[in-house]
Amino acid sequence: MKGFVFILLYILLPVSLFSQETEYLELVKAESELHDLFNELYTDTVTDIGPLPDTIQKKMLAALSLDGSIDFPWKRLDKIGIVTSEDKELRIFTWHVAEDADHYHYYGNIQVRQRRGRSKVYALHDNGKPQRGVMKTDQTLSDWYGKLYYQIVTNRYKRKTYYTLLGMDFNNSRSTIKSIEAMMIQRNEPKFARSLFIKGQDVVDRVVLEYDKQVAISVRFEPGTGMIAFDHLVPFHPVYQGNFEFYGPDGSIDGLEFSEGQWIFQKDIDARNPD
């Protein structure tokens, strides 16, 4: 019996290795094709992109559905945003097309880990709506405020995992927007969380920071403090109050601290790493 088991393993092992090698080669091929397509999309000589973005999206959905794709590094796709949660359960790919200086369209795909290296893929559909001041909204995968995600913050509370997404929208020729919003996985499906951000008596679904195109601000999770820290924005002159394309940082830092399943606003924090 032992001899039979040994022979069976001897036969099956090469088959398994061959299968893994085949999967890997398929991923390498898909990555190479996507790399070339993104190079074509973002070349300065392209004046009419035509169906190219839709072609890329279809190929991305197919590539991300391949077995093993959620653990594949996709290092050659260096022109798009790829972020992975700390627990490796969630990965998001985002990219954009500049229709003109005032209009940008965003594409996104979310991978949720399944068993045995498999994943389920969900497309994000840009709703094309302006997101200035939109703090309360029932955002969904099919009604998504488009942006490029650049960081995921992973938190757990009472057996629930919260994935907080930091993103940037080029918005228009006058202002840029950075946003903070949260997502959870429910029944293997990613869903945007609501009512997770608290500022005084206000409870909102997301944080939106809009500022002048000519300035830069930081919105980052700081491991040393355990907080999301961001520049406090003010108008350049009181006459511009509420006109966010004339807002910029005043040198102080605000933050969000995760506590009991919610992000609590903290004003004028010390964002320096205590170490």
Q: How far is the C-alpha of 41 from the C-alpha of 79, rounded, in Å?
A: 10
Find the distance separating the first CA and the last CA of the chain, reported in whole Å: 60
SS3 142: coil
Residue 6 confidence (pLDDT) above 80:
no
Write out pLDDT tens, residues 130-161: 999 999 999 999 999 999 999 999 999 999 99
Among 17-21, 43-47, 246-250, the minimum mean pLDDT is found in 17-21
Q: How far is the C-alpha of 18 from the C-alpha of 22, rounded, in Å?
A: 6
CB 183 within 8 A of CB 151: no
Residue 205 confidence (pLDDT) above 50:
yes
Residue 3 confidence (pLDDT) above 60:
no
Spatial neighbors of 216 by CB under 8 A, at least 6 apart, are none
Write out pLDDT tens, residues 61-107: 999 999 999 999 999 999 999 999 999 999 999 999 998 889 999 99
Please identify which residue in the block is written with the tokens 């996709």.
Answer: 74
Two tokens, residue 222: 């700081």
Q: Bridge-partner residues for 208, per DSSP?
A: 179
CB 202 within 8 A of CB 218: no
Spatial neighbors of 273 by CB under 8 A, at least 6 apart, are 222, 223, 224, 225
Overall average pLDDT of the 123-135 stretch: 95
Two tokens, residue 265: 């606003």
Average pLDDT, the chain: 90
